[in-house]
Structure 1
Amino acid sequence: MFQPVVSFFSARRTIKRILTLSYDIFAIAFALYASIALRLGVISFPMELEEVGSFVITIAVTLIVFTKLGLYRAVMRYMIVPAIGHIFLAVVASSLALSISSFYLHSFIPRSVPAIYAGIAMILLGGPRILIRTYFDRYYRKGKDNVLIYGAGVAGRELAYALRQGSEYHPVAIIDDDPNKIGNIIYGLRVYDSKDFLKLNGLYQPVKLLLAINNIRQGERLRLVDKLSNWPVAIQSVPSVEDIALGRADKTEVRDLDIADLLGRDSVEPKHELMQQCIFGKSVMVTGAGGSIGSELCRQIIKLSPKTLVLFELNEYNLYQIEKELKQIALYTNVETTIIAALGSVQHSNRLEKMMRIYQINTVYHAAAYKHVPIVEYNMIEGVRNNIFGTLFAAKAAINANVDNFVLISTDKAVRSTNIMGASKRMAELVLQALSVEQVTTNFTMVRFGNVLGSSGSVVPLFREQIKKGGPVTVTHPDITRYFMLIPEAAQLVIQAGSIGHNGQVFVLDMGDSVKILDLAKRMIHLMGMSEKIDVDCDGDIEIKFTGLRPGEKLYEELLIGENVAGTSHPKIMTALEDYLTWKEMEIVLNKLDKFCHEFNIEAVRDILISTPTGYTGGGEIKDHLYCHHKEKQLQI
């Protein structure tokens, strides 16, 4: 029976407008006729030229008002209360036109007819539009999954409206903890108390609960997420206003919970004066600008209005992506910063120095490094060349180009490392510490911190992907722990540490308490609406498997080599007082290291890293691919 309606809405827009206009003309004419017939109590009555003139004027005025109010541009199936309000205004204008035209044309239309006409016209013009809207709401609801919305504020209202117009989810109810909002009706959805969740879950069987709250403090949000993690439904959230404004997300888009919610910790607001000190109005370079840390540094830096921002990156695609994003941010925030996308490797010292000289760089944030522990373990020479000599070349280029500040992004894996990646980063620290004593041109500082959630090597995206595929979730060891920090928080603290640092200082960021990876995996499983499968006979959804520690991996990470640590003016930044080599001693080590890298003498390279005060213990057998292949060939001979 609804086939004609469906066929009508599958027709072209022009045809639909002609049919809608034709119906409105008929409905207005019928309403005029019916109102006079009702008033006179007869079915037929004489129509003189004056009455016909009033009818024509009334119809024309009504259609003009409808057009001006955009009712023929609106898609009828999406019409809601505001459109009905426009119809009411048009009908009022139509009634006035009938009254005025009948007065001036001296037509025989009783004075009560315009009021009767207004009631009939409202039914005939508004009724079909409401019925069509209701029909399509019910028709399209059949193929949509039920969802609950948490939050009856602005974000929740916008999400409810957007989802009702969309084709993927059907909102069935809104949940909120504010007693003043409970019982309200928003776009046809009732607002319930969070205590009613189990009843709603049993009644509607929603596939997801969408968290639509963006205006609460992080601590409150964390407590809310902790409560929701015990509910037997997948939790997702809506994007922030900033993401929507920058085009990074659509307001109808729903996504997995923010990484901050998984971490369960509050971040400290950055000190604006420290953020600006080395950046505002200055020329800044970020090496490794397309990486996880480098790109976030760039996002924080562009907001602080530098004169020039040079993005130095080896990967062409990553460079293209971050340049495009930064230009959008600059446009959105009205920042007049010259953005330079520079392809290059930190192992090319001439390229680095020329870029720093030409753009008169004041501050360098050196984030370029190979950071993935097993990959560097399998490619030892490249890891040493990029992390140690790349830092050396960048530092010397900064000295020669009279750069004021040079900040190295280091890692907690540099402390008593069991892997080549950590040892190479500690050696990079020693290089800068030695150079800091040798010269006074550039202020060298190093910032050491743990894992950042959401980076290219983070466990969070890996766990998320494994859970979506149905598991298993792989954890290397049941007792493994890591320090975690959010990428934006880490980037802000790096910038602030660079502002308070004195030449040769090593800074350690307060990472809070270490996080047990197993607990993080379980939390993610629950927040994605699933349960852990403990054994074969268990009814759970996702199994957790332990795969064993990877090459060079430790159970626990440390941030300090010794106990010599002092506070700074920032509550989240500490300074570590550690031993280092003189530049003459460092030069001897670097010359040997360069020679052995060139000769591909991996055993000698590892011996140097062990003998130098890096804290590197050797980490067991050498895992480098080429070294192992060469050893196999020798054994075969």
Structure 2
Amino acid sequence: MSSLLKNLSRHQKQMILIVVDLLLLPIAFVGALAVQRNTFPDYTVLREWSLLLVALCSTAFVFSWALGISRIRLSAYDIHGVWQTALFATLLGVAGAGLSVVFTVSFPGSFFVLFALVYFLTCATARIAMLQILLTIYRRAHTRCRVVIYGAGTTGIQLASALKTHEAIEAVAFVEDNPRLVGTRAAGLSVYPGFKLPDIIEKNEVHRVLLAMPSLSMPKQLQIAKHIETLGVEVQTLPSFSQLVGEEPLVNRLQNISPAAFLGRTHLSQNAPDLTNAYTHRVILISGAGGSIGCELSRQILAARPKRLVLFELNELALYNIEKELSALARDLDVDLIPILGSVTDARLVANVLKTNNVEIVLHAAAYKHVPLVEKNPLAGMANNVLGTHSLAREAMAAGVAKFILISTDKAVRPSNFMGASKRLAEMVVLDQASRSTVCVFSVVRFGNVLGSSGSVIPLFQEQIARGGPLTLTHRDTTRYFMTAQEAVQLVLHAGTFASGGEIFVLDMGKPMPIYDLARQIIEANGYTVRDSANPNGDIEIEIAGLRPGEKLHEELITNTPLQPTQHPKIMIAVDVGLPEIHVAAVIRAIRTAVASGDKKACTDIAVRWVDGYKRDRLQAKAFGLTTQVFGSTTQSD
């Protein structure tokens, strides 16, 4: 039956409504006569008025089509439809009075007023009855979705009213946190307190809860949704009317905020000198070109108009994205853009790429950098970060490359994690090559965290805010050095211009930033408030999860060795002699053996033996009792 009704065309449905209206007209006419005369008229009397009824039906057909009564959908029959029906009945009453004169049928004037009233009530009642019949048919043909509306305010009531005519969704109750609304009825539904939601869901076999609280902040809505989902039902959010018409964002109020806004200082290299002379018309290879630093290196190097830019990357998608971004600009600047898909641990590929392209400068940014992942995968970390650096540096020297710059990290200084230990060993490899090279200049540039890079705290915090929180910190007192990718890369390129070989350049990153303060800034920058003991009604909570394996409270950029100035005020040189050549060779052999045999313990032993300050079983720098001097300020690691 439901399929038959649904297959009717719109024109057919309109004709059915017109026929129903015409059939109701004689019924209303006879009913009005019966009411007025207090008796049902007999057949002889009705036959005398048959011509009047026929004429009145013809008039009704014309009026119905002209007023569009039949074009009003049953499911949309509202107060406007009622007024249209009233106008239709009134016009028929007036027409009936006029036709009675034409056909010389005597009726008192009050009859046609009564007729119009009876016909109006009959038509309106018939439409409501037809709608209920159709809904019953449709509902029996479908499995109905029973819902609870969370929020009995204006939006919730409007939603409940709209669902009354829905064939597949049935609202069974309201749930409300406002005690003033609990216990009342709205749109024909009872309003219950929030704590009764599990009972309502169970007793009424509810499938879905609709959040009708658009004025509530998004984090609080998400928190409510998380709680409701634990009850085993689906949760959906309803926007407000103002959101639907575009006065407010419909989905999300989060905005992209520049990472530099959280530095608490001006950029370190705003008045940088021109780098054109150092990199123009040179052939430059960037390893790890698809990473956060690699991408920014590629952008800034391309702007300097090199002769050729080789993008060396292991990740296919990352390489595709950076090549797609730079290809049009490279064509405009007449720069050869060469994408190379491969690993720096592949010595044959590295040697072939360097020689084929006559590479003059190598900027080595390829590394596994995520501390927890490398902590769980030490063999991969050693292979990529140490053996990869050794392979690329050795082949660069063999190919006659003029300059090799390793991008390092503050986590390489007396590291407490495996990623930092592997980067420290990579630094030793580059310093060893520098001590033996007479052609290629080998140097290291060391800096801290890059704001907004993949896996860094700002994207993580933004994602957690989008989920409604909480923001997770490992420790209340954790601090980190931060710099934007743009300024870090600019200083790296500056350091490369005056590198002479064997230096570890350390970038001045300003004062370390408390991560807890950064979390608060990000919450407030997104328009929310922090929920804590001082503000229990806030939007987003900051949760302390505890230090992860290998994580320090405070990072370091140097050890106790003195710093030497350079021609750039924000670039220093840390004095570091590294390891003797024979020891570096022993380290490389040991790592190759450990990786080949899959011996994680051997990797740990290598790091413990050769990396100053590394202890595999210590999780914090505090365990070592370290005191660090960074640009004249003393920081105790506690």
Q: TM-score range by the shorter chain?
A: 0.5 to 0.7
Instruction: Determine the structure 1 residue equivalent to 2:512.
Output: 514
Aligned-pair distance for 1:438?
A: 1.3
Which of 471, 474, 489 matches 1:473?
471
Aligned-pair distance for 1:268?
A: 3.3
Instruction: Determine the structure 2 residue equivalent to 1:103.
Output: none
State the secondary structure of the residue aligned to 2:275: helix
Matches within 5 A, 1:476-515: 476-515=474-513
CA distance in 2, matches of 1:558, 1:341: 35
Instruction: Determine the structure 1 residue equivalent to 2:594.
Output: 596
TM-score, normalised with respect to structure 2:
0.56
* 1:450 equivalenced with 2:442 (yes/no): no
Q: Is the 8 A contact 2:414 2:611 kept in 1?
A: no
Aligned-pair distance for 1:620?
A: 3.6
1:292-345: CA deviation from partner (whole Å, max 9, x where unpaired): 1101100110000000000000111110100011123335xx411100011010
Instruction: Determine the structure 1 residue equivalent to 2:540.
Output: 542
Matches within 5 A, 1:54-453: 255-269=255-269, 275-330=275-330, 334-453=332-451
User: Relative to structure 2, which stretch is displaced further, 556-565 or 421-430?
Assistant: 556-565
Pair 389,479 (structure 1): closer, same or farther in 2 beyond 3 Å:
same
Instruction: Determine the structure 2 residue equivalent to 1:552.
Output: 550
State the secondary structure of the residue aligned to 2:504: strand
State the secondary structure of the residue aligned to 1:447: strand
Instruction: Determine the structure 2 residue equivalent to 1:461.
Output: 459
1:33-75: CA deviation from partner (whole Å, max 9, x where unpaired): xxxxxxxxxxxxxxxxxxxxxxxxxxxxxxxxxxxxxxxxxxx
Aligned-pair distance for 1:353?
A: 1.1
Q: Is the 8 A contact 1:373 1:420 kept in 2?
A: yes
Aligned-pair distance for 1:285?
A: 0.3
Aligned-pair distance for 1:598?
A: 1.5
Which of 557, 560, 563 matches 2:561?
563
Residue type at the aligned position of 2:545? T
Aligned-pair distance for 1:595?
A: 1.2
CA distance in 2, matches of 1:363, 1:608: 31
Aligned-pair distance for 1:467?
A: 1.1
State the secondary structure of the residue aligned to 1:538: coil
1:174-225: CA deviation from partner (whole Å, max 9, x where unpaired): xxxxxxxxxxxxxxxxxxxxxxxxxxxxxxx9999xxxxxxxxxxxxxxxxx
Identity %: 44
Residue type at the aligned position of 2:507? L
Aligned-pair distance for 1:469?
A: 1.7
State the secondary structure of the residue aligned to 2:359: coil
State the secondary structure of the residue aligned to 2:584: helix
Pair 391,274 (structure 1): closer, same or farther in 2 beyond 3 Å:
farther
Pair 496,538 (structure 1): closer, same or farther in 2 beyond 3 Å:
same
Q: Is the 8 A contact 1:419 1:619 kept in 2?
A: no
Residue type at the aligned position of 1:404? A
Instruction: Determine the structure 1 residue equivalent to 2:122.
Output: none
Q: Is the 8 A contact 1:274 1:495 kept in 2?
A: no
Q: Is the 8 A contact 2:409 2:420 kept in 1?
A: yes
Aligned-pair distance for 1:457?
A: 1.7
CA distance in 2, matches of 1:274, 1:529: 39
Residue type at the aligned position of 2:310? V
Aligned-pair distance for 1:601?
A: 2.0
CA distance in 2, matches of 1:365, 1:270: 22
Aligned-pair distance for 1:267?
A: 1.3
Q: Is the 8 A contact 1:423 1:609 kept in 2?
A: yes
CA distance in 2, matches of 1:364, 1:206: 53
CA distance in 2, matches of 1:464, 1:431: 37
State the secondary structure of the residue aligned to 1:549: coil
State the secondary structure of the residue aligned to 2:279: coil
Pair 507,537 (structure 1): closer, same or farther in 2 beyond 3 Å:
closer
Aligned-pair distance for 1:270?
A: 6.0
1:424-483: CA deviation from partner (whole Å, max 9, x where unpaired): 000000011111111212100100000000111210011111112211111111000000
CA distance in 2, matches of 1:530, 1:616: 40
CA distance in 1, matches of 2:333, 2:216: 44
Instruction: Determine the structure 1 residue equivalent to 2:614.
Output: 616
Aligned-pair distance for 1:273?
A: 5.4
Pair 207,380 (structure 1): closer, same or farther in 2 beyond 3 Å:
closer
State the secondary structure of the residue aligned to 1:460: helix
The structure number with the bigger radius of gyration is: 2
Residue type at the aligned position of 1:358? T
User: Relative to structure 2, which stretch is displaced further, 293-302 or 609-618?
Assistant: 609-618
CA distance in 1, matches of 2:285, 2:271: 21
State the secondary structure of the residue aligned to 1:361: coil
Aligned-pair distance for 1:613?
A: 4.1
Instruction: Determine the structure 2 residue equivalent to 1:121.
Output: none
CA distance in 1, matches of 2:349, 2:392: 10
CA distance in 1, matches of 2:530, 2:296: 34
State the secondary structure of the residue aligned to 1:256: coil
CA distance in 1, matches of 2:315, 2:611: 33
CA distance in 2, matches of 1:374, 1:461: 17
CA distance in 1, matches of 2:256, 2:595: 44
TM-score, normalised with respect to structure 1:
0.56
1:591-613: CA deviation from partner (whole Å, max 9, x where unpaired): 12211222222222211211114
Q: Is the 8 A contact 2:284 2:360 kept in 1?
A: yes
State the secondary structure of the residue aligned to 1:269: coil
Q: Is the 8 A contact 1:308 1:339 kept in 2?
A: yes
CA distance in 2, matches of 1:379, 1:265: 36
Q: Is the 8 A contact 2:520 2:530 kept in 1?
A: yes
1:106-149: CA deviation from partner (whole Å, max 9, x where unpaired): xxxxxxxxxxxxxxxxxxxxxxxxxxxxxxxxxxxxx9xxxxxx
Pair 443,263 (structure 1): closer, same or farther in 2 beyond 3 Å:
same
* 1:584 equivalenced with 2:582 (yes/no): yes
Pair 305,271 (structure 1): closer, same or farther in 2 beyond 3 Å:
farther
Aligned-pair distance for 1:383?
A: 0.3
Which residues of structure 2 form unaligned runs of 5+?
A: 1-154, 156-214, 219-252, 620-638
State the secondary structure of the residue aligned to 1:285: strand
Aligned-pair distance for 1:536?
A: 10
Pair 537,480 (structure 1): closer, same or farther in 2 beyond 3 Å:
closer
CA distance in 1, matches of 2:338, 2:612: 36
CA distance in 2, matches of 1:255, 1:328: 28
1:230-264: CA deviation from partner (whole Å, max 9, x where unpaired): xxxxxxxxxxxxxxxxxxxxxxx994221111222
CA distance in 2, matches of 1:595, 1:613: 18
CA distance in 1, matches of 2:302, 2:316: 20
CA distance in 2, matches of 1:282, 1:547: 48
Which residues of structure 1 form unaligned runs of 5+?
A: 1-142, 144-204, 209-252, 622-637
Aligned-pair distance for 1:418?
A: 0.4
CA distance in 2, matches of 1:580, 1:537: 52
Q: Is the 8 A contact 2:505 2:574 kept in 1?
A: yes
CA distance in 2, matches of 1:254, 1:330: 34
Runs of 4+ in 1 over 4 A off after TM superposition: 205-208, 270-274
Instruction: Determine the structure 2 residue equivalent to 1:147.
Output: none
CA distance in 2, matches of 1:505, 1:313: 26
Q: Is the 8 A contact 2:263 2:482 kept in 1?
A: yes
CA distance in 1, matches of 2:277, 2:562: 27
